[in-house]
Amino acid sequence: MKNSIISIGLFLLLFTATANASDELLAVVMDEQDAFKEGDCDKVESLMAEDITFYANSRKMSREQVGRFCRSIKRPFGAGRDSIEDTITPHRISETLGYTVRDFRWYDKNEKIVHEVVTKIWRKDADGWKMIHFQSTVMPEEDKKQKP
């Protein structure tokens, strides 16, 4: 009985630590997302590692290209409305490594629904969390329908 109580206690402690660590990672991601939406591209770049690999819908981009894109993109994005659905899920692998998956649907400038999934891998060092990999896949909703 005593061993069971200790095991449960250790599980709860580990679960709480993991949840807090995931919350920390999610806070960094939300900070990065807010900076991108607001056009604070210096902040966005400060959260990217120098050696980031970046693929936007299968197109490889350098850190500098991402910075230029951030500075030139029209805001508000798409049709200027909030996302229809938007879920960001953080996953901590270790104290210094984690990833997030964002799954969302939004309206493009032509009012068509677009489905996008973004995966980011994050590494924590002395300067905090830095994005080391970015991969997005964008697909118009109607492309998902089966053709006869």
Read off the pLDDT of residues 94-143 as tens digits, 9 standing for 90 and up.
999 999 999 999 988 888 999 999 999 999 999 999 999 999 999 988 65
Amino acid at 20: N
* Residue 57 DSSP class: T
Nearest partner of 67 among 99, 34, 35, 100, judged by Cα: 35
Task: Enumerate domains of the chain plus CATH numbers.
Answer: 2-144 (3.10.450.50)
pTM for this one? Answer: 0.78
d(CA 98, CA 100): 7
Cis upstream peptide for 90 (omega within 30°): no
Mean pLDDT (the chain) is 84
